[in-house]
Chain A
Amino acid sequence: MPVRFEVNGKPVAVAVEPRTSLADCLRDHLRLTGTHIGCEHGVCGACTVIVDGAAVRSCLMLAVQAEGSRIVTVEGLSRDDGLSPLQTAFRKHHALQCGFCTPGILTTAHALLTEEPDADAERIRGVLSGNLCRCTGYIPIVAAVLEARAAYKAEKP
């Protein structure tokens, strides 16, 4: 089936089987391999992408459901070769080790801070409860997201 949507600011058109998940479409058809697949049943959160502003498990959404959507993946979080303020904070706080869950955590945190740049630690932990990380113990992740809030506040008038 043909499907058209926008990924990281660029329009794309792909032909997929109806059973193809958005995650597989992004990875296999569009070769955006930053989106990772960790469980394929919507629990681990590694495949989280931002669809029309909302953090979505791309393993639980069919590619055909994305018709007409605007999608942001981890590859679209920073411009050029630099790191975004959120990514910079992750590096500074050592909020990633193996890096496998990181794309889903970054997209989730980005969606959260875009909507709620004042989110407190408890709110951040609550929102990230749907993203499993086996390496860090989450403490540096929460510290990094807290630090990145300043950049989102500055952006939001």
Chain B
Amino acid sequence: MTIVNRYIGSPVERVEDLRFLRGRGEYVGDLVRPGMLHAAILRSPVAHGHIRRLEAGAALTIPGVRAVITAAEIAGALGLVPCIPLRLQTSPATAPFRQPAIAAHRVRYAGEPVAVVLADSAALAEDGVDAIVLDIDELPVVADRHISGRHETLLFADSGTNLAMKFTGGKGDADAAFRDAPYTRCARFRVQRHTALPMEPRGLLAEWDAAAGHMVVSGAAKVPFFNRRTVAAMLQLPETAVDLIENDVGGGFGARGEFYPEDFLIPFAARHIGRPVRWLEDRREHLIAMNHAREMEAEVEIACARDGTILALRGDVYVDLGAYIRTNGLTAPRNVAQFFSGPYRIPNIRISSHALVTNKTPTGTYRAPGRYEGSFFCERLIELAAKDLGLDSAAMRRKNLIGDAEMPYKLARVEPGDLYAETECDSGDYAHAFDRCVAEFGFEEKRKLNGRLIDGRYHGVAIGCFIEGGGAGPKELARLKLEADGSVTVSVGSAAVGQGLETVMAQIAADSLGLSIEQVRVLHGSTTLLDDGYGAFHSRSTVLGGSAVSEAAAILVQKIRKAAAERLGCAPDDVEVIDGRAGPRGGRSLALAELAADGLQTDYAFANDHRHTYAYGTAAAHVAVDPGTGEIELVDYLVVEDVGRIVNPLTLHGQAIGATVQGLGGALLEDLVYDENGQLLAGNLADYLIPTAPDFPNIRAISLEHRPSPANPLGVKGAGEGGIIPVGGLIANAVAGALSGIGAEPNTLPLSPPRVWRLANPTA
């Protein structure tokens, strides 16, 4: 058989773009239904308290306001107010900390849902929200992890503690290594609370068919099948009585598509009132309701030999979890314990991560959860150690990188354990990516600028390394069907959140099937397509979904050959499937459309046996710091990542650059500041600053295919998150280099102008 590989590896322009560029995308907010009502949500204005009075009467007198739903209506219909289950890191111990779908008696963060108003328009629903009387007896506010750790005011009295969970990443004997080490160094670091902030706020449209007993919820994203099971259970319906539909999604980054209170409240409301109900989150609401992320403090130490060989890591990380454990709220605390050591060969590790509840918006994953934070802590520790030891920190990094010959390399084991308690780096030549970055960046030349004052600004240059976990299992499903016109429809359980899934899956399918990409139609996400699916998280869609499509296509090709051979009277092995036709080379062939009547279809579930992929790379940054204003200019930035195999260099490059700029937002700009009363002070986009077009014009990315993954047939590695991982540590180390003459050690993010000014002017 001739193998024609036309699309994989090529910068194929996206099929999605044709609708997005002409305003023809279909996002959930674009959907309307006859008789549709609009929902608005009353949220607690205070961070902690008991609801004393909740009266909806005045709201119901507004013409056009149709209903107000509170915990009372829900408990009346269901017998209880259901709690939202965890999707990841599930454990019975987490039960007391789960979020109820609506506050009944107690509120634990400003923004917690208290009532849902249904009205003829969104504006009338908001008028209704304003008319509800809500009195809350305020309780002492647990505004940060320090107050939480005193366990004086408990968010959940029954649990007896504010410590929701503790994870430990362990390997070797850290205490013994520290006891015997010739050099140790302890330091404290902090990463601020920030958030994914997709540009499309969330939205849902729920339609209840009372006669059929069937619920359809549009606006699903990321994990529609898990959310279907969840909402069905909460509504006390069989799973098959609910379908979740994935529309175009305006960005995810880990936060969009997880199960939030509204994912229950809106379907409940539609069934309650017997009409379609649509809810569109506004931006202010988004900032207090959607998962926050990243808030961690570390008290950690490193042990080294005098030559810079890292011997051990040890210490504690304190995570401000917010008010409840959300579906994936424990992923970042878990990950920071396991992945603290990054790409480095460190034989002895004990990192404990303490997840503490506070009266703030609950947290969840944001692109590279726990890994971004852990990389910042680890890269700063290495920089401090190299300085103490009088070593070249770049050389120290390279010396400690895990070697090609050490693969597969086991990382720290995490307790309490899960399916990935033990994980190993699958393949990689980490020094190769490092050397490439050094060469392409001109690192040796640029680093001579470190600490120099040029035209009133201090220049700093740094380098850092990372690994990116991808390809979480257990599996993904794909269904390929030969259509009557000879095209092939690909249905995949992976979800699209704006990353170009349709194009990448079409490339993989078209190559395997010998079709042009126009003859492949990709459907994804919705629960109507397949029996099960696992979605889009942990950079898994290309790895698992792509492998499922590739394997399913291979089987479909066998079926096509067999069907063609029967018609043509030849052996199936002689049949080539190419350019939409099947037949023996040089002989008569059939158009695939002629075989469609045979009902050729294939289902395939690709399972990866819980083997993660580990892309890896090195990034370098050059900054100029203005000591007069504290402003940082990013003069140059390069990230080099080996992703195993590139399916689409265009979309991959987009992931690398986009992730890097998000990381720069986290390192320099974004900060969800709270006051001591648990009130968010950065509740709109004028106060919560994300990168804008003029901020970071000088960023380059290079992608390598040096070491394919052995864990899947395509050899691909998850590659959507790597770009963000090293940014915090890298920028902080570059600023440390710039201000080395002053001895500044930037150990707290973000490096906003006021913070940098204080570092640059320690005596002012």
Binding site for B on A (CB under 8 A): 17, 19, 27-28, 32-41, 43-44, 46, 73-75, 77-78, 83, 87, 90-92, 94, 96-103, 106, 121-122, 124-126, 128-142
CB distance from B32 to the nearest CB of A (A): 8
State which size class the interface on B falls in. 35 or more
Check A36 against B250 for contact (C-beta < 8 Å): yes
Other A-B contacts than A78-B22, A126-B693, 10 sampled, CB-CB below 8 A, are A33-B23, A33-B30, A97-B651, A100-B199, A101-B250, A106-B21, A125-B697, A131-B693, A136-B657, A138-B693
List residues 303-342 of chain B with CB under 8 A from any CB of chain A.
none
Write out the residue numbers on chain A whose beta carbons fall within 8 Å of the beta carbon of B693: 124-126, 128-129, 131, 133, 138, 141-142
Does B16 lie at the interface of the complex (its beta carbon under 8 Å from any beta carbon of A)? Answer: yes
Write out the residue numbers on chain B whose beta carbons fall within 8 Å of the beta carbon of A98: 198-200, 248-252, 497-499
Quick one: which of B23, B498, B651, B690 contacts A35, CB cutoff 8 A?
B23
Q: How far is the CA of A35 from the CA of B200 in the complex (A)?
A: 12
Write out the residue numbers on chain A whose beta carbons fall within 8 Å of the beta carbon of B657: 136-137, 139-140
List residues 704-718 of chain B with CB under 8 A from any CB of chain A.
none
Check B21 against A38 for contact (C-beta < 8 Å): no
Write out the residue numbers on chain B whose beta carbons fall within 8 Å of the beta carbon of A96: 17, 20-21
List residues 681-703 of chain B with CB under 8 A from any CB of chain A.
684-686, 690-694, 696-697, 699
Q: How far is the CA of A17 from the CA of B684 in the complex (A)?
A: 26
Write out the residue numbers on chain B whose beta carbons fall within 8 Å of the beta carbon of A87: 21-22
Does B25 lie at the interface of the complex (its beta carbon under 8 Å from any beta carbon of A)? Answer: yes
Does B588 lie at the interface of the complex (its beta carbon under 8 Å from any beta carbon of A)? Answer: no
Check B13 against A92 for contact (C-beta < 8 Å): yes
Q: How far is the CA of A19 from the CA of B121 in the complex (A)?
A: 12
CB distance from B130 to the nearest CB of A (A): 14
Write out the residue numbers on chain A whose beta carbons fall within 8 Å of the beta carbon of B691: 137-138
CB distance from A85 to the nearest CB of B (A): 12
Check B22 against A34 for contact (C-beta < 8 Å): yes
Check B253 against A134 for contact (C-beta < 8 Å): yes
Quick one: which of A32, A36, A122, A124 contacts B200, CB cutoff 8 A?
A36
Does B282 lie at the interface of the complex (its beta carbon under 8 Å from any beta carbon of A)? Answer: yes
Write out the residue numbers on chain A whose beta carbons fall within 8 Å of the beta carbon of B650: 94
Check B699 against A139 for contact (C-beta < 8 Å): yes
Quick one: which of A19, A125, A137 contacts B658, CB cutoff 8 A?
A137
Quick one: which of B27, B197, B651, B686 contacts A36, CB cutoff 8 A?
B27
Q: A100 — nearest CB in chain B belongs to which residue? A: B250
Check A91 against B694 for contact (C-beta < 8 Å): no
Does B149 lie at the interface of the complex (its beta carbon under 8 Å from any beta carbon of A)? Answer: no
Most buried by B among A37, A131, A135: A135
Check B21 against A102 for contact (C-beta < 8 Å): yes
Q: B655 — nearest CB in chain A belongs to which residue? A: A97
CB distance from B634 to the nearest CB of A (A): 12
Known: A40-B282, A41-B686, A98-B251. A135 touches B17 (CB 8 A): no
CB distance from B56 to the nearest CB of A (A): 23
> Scoring B residues 266 to 301 as 1 if CB is less than 8 Å from chain A, else 0, what string do you get?
000000000000000011000000000000000000
